[in-house]
Amino acid sequence: MLRWYLIQTKPSAERVAEWNLQRQGFETYYPLALTSSRRRGRSTRERIAALFPRYLFLRLDEGVQCLAPVRSTVGVASIVRFGALYAVVPDRLVADLRQRADAETGLHHVGGHAELCCGESVQITDGPLQGLEGIFEREAGADRVVVLLKLLGQTARVQVPLDYVIAAGSAA
């Protein structure tokens, strides 16, 4: 019986783990995504990255193959478990992931965020500050931004997730 399992890899070792598992005769699926990231606030750069960082799927033919060698494979950190049982991934989930990938490249396309410029009016769309408007100041890491908000007559710098911020003119 063929079953999919979820494998956690060591940091940045997804490709190493995939290669070593395939070399041992295991079928793997390592979904990749084409992502966009902003550099220095202006230029956008596309890169290929793991859709699920530190994870890949392994298909095992139970009764023919054994999970024991997987645990000691170079690049593998562990096999995902729920209690004492290994996490079995439904075939349909892996099939859906494969179907959603681009037919030519095999890559998943992850939506990027609109470029925000320093001084631009923004609206916070989620979280405890939802509905407030402020001024975009800068990025604060890969997925957070600093927004200037007028609170109680004072200007305050707050960090919020990038996903929570849209340009004020984009608000519906």
How do residues 12-24 score in pLDDT, each as one tens digit? 999 999 999 999 9
Domain boundary among 74, 109, 144: 109
Residues 105 and 126 in one domain: no
Range of the domain at 98: 2-109
Which residue would you say has higher pLDDT here, 110 or 31? 31
CA angle 153, 154, 156 (to 5 degrees): 140
Candidates 149, 113, 112; CA nearest to 130 is 149
Residues 74 and 129 in one domain: no
Mean pLDDT of 47-68: 91
Helices within the chain (DSSP H only): 14-23, 68-71, 91-100
pTM: 0.63
How do residues 116-129 score in pLDDT, each as one tens digit? 788 889 988 888 88
Residues 15 and 92 in one domain: yes
How many structural domains are present in the chain? 2
Beta-bridge mates of residue 158: 147
Residue 114: inside a domain? no
The predicted pLDDT at position 43 comes to 56
Euclidean distance between CA atoms 61 and 4, whole angstroms = 9
Residue 93: inside a domain? yes
How do residues 70-116 score in pLDDT, each as one tens digit? 999 999 999 999 999 999 999 999 999 999 888 888 888 765 555 77
